[in-house]
Structure 1
Amino acid sequence: MTMWSSVAAFLLLGLTATASATSVSCYWGSWATYRAGPANVEVADIDTTLCTQVVYAFAGLDETTNSIKSLDPYNDLEENYGKGNYKKFTALADQGVVPLLGVGGWNEGSVKYSTMASTATSRSAFATNAVSFLQQYGFKGLQLDWQYPGQRGGSAADRENFVLLCQELHQRLADAGLSFGIAVGALHGMTETSYDVPSLIPYVDWVNLMSYDYATASTDRLTANMAPLWPRLNLTSYLNVDATVQEWISAGAPAAKLRVGAPFYGRTYTLANPDSHGLDAPVVGAGVAGAYTQEAGLLAYFEICMATWTETVIEDGEAYAYSGNQWVSFKNPQTMQTLGEYAVQKGLDGAHIWSIESDDNHNTCGGGAKPLLNSLNKGLGLQ
């Protein structure tokens, strides 16, 4: 499908933005304070005019006390000459944005959250301690990123216990005037294995759909779009944003509580043959690690735009590019705006960004600072 046929399909579906969504939830990876050059993003670099919420990623779970704990005390706290980023971050509330604390994430795993959620006593302790922790540092709410109930060593009982945990958290946080949302996996079938959607919905203020990483070098041996908006032409697939949104709505979630995921990074491959560089091209593994993010198979958007690519192709609401034996699937400003327009036309609450430090925050590439975040806002009708 060419760029113009993708646009035509978009128009035929009636997906031209006529209104605006309400939420732009911006995760900030606090580890960006340790990076150099264009990769360094401090709290002071966060543009609060382009976010309605900002989420500090991440805090963790102390298993012994069923309480929230800092995962990087030097970076997070002021004690022992620390950088005190919790307090700097929550001070952003003075600029009109809502600062939230993200708890969990991939590296935290699932097992200890499964254990904590398994009894009424431990759920209650966690909720009580969460309120105290948030109030101590000035956070206005909690973003729970348990990845994932019932998976990665968790229990089959997690699906039910997750509802009970959210019920407890929602009540305690609401009583304290604090908000509460969850991030959920987006792969097909997780509403059956991990999330009891109708039971969950009353106890969350929003749901961040992690609608990306449908394809990665760790799972695929052919090039594929990481976060396509729609399935490939004439193919039936659940590996796209629209399928995830429809699955959650069909399972009982109101569209107005859902947010699509906006990835500010790309997934990369090393091609088996540089002359075969379209979709479904054979690969030998992950792409070369970026100079700043230093993870094979992944590039931040600023690393993508700093590189020279032979060609960039837009297909199925996603961009991909190639050069030599390197291939990357990512959102560029055009497809990011399209994602925002999609969220509006589906009546969604908006979008959440993973994560803002991966944008071209310092205009390194010459296209203006924060091109992805600006384009998403435009698509959402907020600019």
Structure 2
Amino acid sequence: MRLLLPLSLLAIILSLAEGVMVCYYGSWAVYRPDNGKFDVENIDPFICTHLIFGFAGLGWDNQIRVLDPYNELCENYGKCAYDRFTALKQKNTELVTILAVGGWNEGSTKYSDMAADEGTRKTFVDSSVEMLKTHNFDGLDMDWEYPTQRGGKPEDKVNFISLLSELKTALHAEGMILTAAVSAGKLTIDPAYDIPAMAENIDIVNLMAYDLHGAWETYTHHQSGLYPYPDDTGDNVYLNQDFAVRYWIDGGMPSTKIALGVPLYGRCYKLDYSTDETGYYAPASQPGPAGPYTRSPGFLGYNEICEFQKNEGDWVVEIAPGMNEPYTYSYNHERIWCSYDDHDSCVIKANYAKDMNLAGMMVWSVETDDFLGICGGRDFELIRTLAETYSGGDITVPPPPSTTTRDPDAPTTTAGSTVSTTTPTTTTARTPPPPDGVCQKPGLNADPENCHHYYLCAPNTSGGYDATEEVCPPGTLYNPDAFICDWENSVCAIGDICPDDCA
């Protein structure tokens, strides 16, 4: 008897052999202003092998749930983002589209509770498979940040493996894949992950080798250094990409399952007025000012950084001795200091990934690359650089696929085979309902009296809204400008927001 692999699993095996370019998409970028606004149609479906939609969440009933129904579903005149996202496979039939569940905003506690019981895990797994099939996704990305941490329990380390095993069985049976976003920090890896057991159950590990430093500290440092800074001591010697990659491999994860994460954004500080230092470990007790698009203190998209550098002549760019990545600062721009990645550091990191025999590259996230080509002359400069360096060739757009006949017995969510015959549901535009209680508009709505939570508002058939309350994880507050739960010090740095919470 011959064993046939489902088509999407065959596609993942082929793509792993050639190198993956995994690209996360932060769907809330659709609410950003001006040149920062980024919707599904802004995605180039040929520059990434795997596209991951961030995020779905976990409901009180332990079922996977949609976090922004107005944007992501078609019902009640919604914008159909899920279906439009997976329909990108009609342009590139080799593209793999994945739905991520979790993320930083979701916290850890409810995932810990769900994973602790076989029955609630089954509820989550079954509902996830159903949602993926409904919207033609090719797999699930498990982005629990993090087992045993942020309100989790020690038992999470074992329960996480049970969850992954059950997800793998259910997804592979439908021809879908399972990926996971994982920490690069040793102090999180040790308590959270049984690496050999994870290796048995995950198709791709997306190593989040960024946010290693940031404005939650009181000194400058690079958030995604490939190697340690020569003056690093203590736990800082672990906070670099090379250590993380080798630690995962030494712990039992095959190198060929690891996609090395590179940030398409900078972590930024405001240099203290008491110092003239501008290098690593310069005193910086406040986050840098928010950018015009991402609007989150301590954070700038690469598109924001490169536009500032292009339009304002006082930005200095330097690379510290022994390092490969740039940092930039401007005294005229509120003494801002940012660590980030550019073309040259992306080349170095992609070559490193090849030398280490990794599966390929990963980025967070597509909407903060120079996607309009304003700075460098071509769009998605950093993603293209990573993909081309790793693969050794330019990204080319293949000719349109020839007409094929679909096997009626094949899984409905295939990648690398035929063009799906399913088309996104179309809707007739209408004026959103007027403000109604906590809902001022469709989508995400702040509570002006309390920044510890916010509301998801979806129009309903009665001419009003269905509102769902979302609580921000401990240590964060809702940032109404960036549409995320952000670090408390970042939100409070904005001013005139959360006066009671920032007093």
Q: What TM-score results when the alignment is normalised by the length of structure 2? A: 0.70
Residue 224 of structure 2: aligned partner: 227
Counterpart in the other structure of 1:184: 182
2:70 corresponding residue in structure 1? 74
Root mean square deviation of aligned Cα: 1.4
SS in 2 for 1:302: helix
* Paired position in structure 1 for 2:305: 304
CA distances 1:198-236 after superposition (whole Å, capped 9, x unpaired)? 111101001111110111111x21110110000123756
Shift in Å, 1:310: 2.9
- CA shift, 1:356, in A, is 0.4
Q: Distance in 1 between matches of 2:316 and 2:31?
A: 33
- Asked whether the equivalents of residues 213 and 221 of structure 2 are also in contact (C-alpha less than 8 Å), the reply is yes
Q: 1:12 — aligned with what?
A: none
- Counterpart secondary structure, 2:186: coil
Is 1:352–2:394 an aligned residue pair? no
Q: How far apart are residue 303 of structure 1 and its match? A: 0.6
Quick one: which amino acid aligns to residue 58 of structure 2? L
Task: Name the amino acid aligned to 2:157.
Answer: R
Q: After superposition, what is the alpha-carbon deviation per residue over 1:173-220, rounded to whole angstroms, capped at 9, x for unaligned?
A: 0001100011111111333200000111101001111110111111x2
Amino acid paired to 1:323: S
Listed as ranges, the matches of 1:214-253 within 5 Å are: 214-218=212-216, 220-233=217-230, 235=232, 237-253=237-253
Q: Which has the higher helix share?
A: 1
Instruction: Map Cα deviations across residues 35-61 of structure 1 (whole Å, 9 max, x no partner).
Output: 222111121111121100101110111
In structure 2, the residue matched to 1:154 is 152
| Contact 1:103 1:145 (C-alpha < 8 Å) held by counterparts | yes
Percent identity, aligned pairs only? 40
Confirm or deny: 8 A CA contact 1:63 1:116 kept in the other structure. no
Give yes or no for the alignment of 1:49 onto 2:59.
no
Alpha-carbon contact 2:212-2:222 (below 8 Å) kept:
yes
In the aligned structure 2, how far is the partner of 1:287 from the partner of 1:267? 8
1:79-228 aligned at under 5 Å gives the runs 79-94=75-90, 95=92, 96-218=94-216, 220-228=217-225
Match of 1:7 in 2: none
Aligned-partner residue type, residue 159 of structure 2: N
Task: Provide the rounded CA distance (Å) in 1 between the counterparts of 2:379 and 2:343.
Answer: 12
C-alpha distance in 1, partners of 2:112/2:165?
15
Q: Indicate how the Cα distance of structure 1 residues 294 and 235 shifts in structure 2: closer, same or farther if over 3 A, else same.
A: closer
- Is this contact kept in 2: 1:21–1:344, CA < 8 A? no
Q: Which of the two has higher C-alpha Rg?
A: 2
Q: Tell me the number of residue pairs that the alignment of Structure 1 and Structure 2 aligns.
A: 362
| Contact map agreement 1:101 1:139 (CA 8 A) in 2 | yes
* Per-residue Cα deviation, 1:145-166 (whole angstroms, up to 9, x for no partner): 0000000001110000000000
1:229-273 Cα shifts (integer Å, max 9, x gaps): 001237561110000001101111110001111100100011114
Spell out, residue by residue over 1:257-306, the C-alpha distance to the aligned partner (whole angstroms, 9 max, x if none). 01111100100011114632111111131101111111110001111011
Whether contact under 8 Å (1:38, 1:360) holds in the other structure is no
Matched, 1:34 2:49: no
- 1:168 deviates by 0.3
What CA deviation, in whole Å up to 9, does each residue of 1:117-149 have, x standing for no partner? Answer: 001111112111111110001101000100000
- For 1:259 and 1:61, the matched residues in 2 are separated by 25
Can you give the 5+ residue segments of structure 1 that lack an aligned partner in the other structure?
A: 1-19
User: Distance in 2 between the 1:88 and 1:326 partners?
Assistant: 38
2:283 is aligned to 282
Matched residue type, 2:272:
A
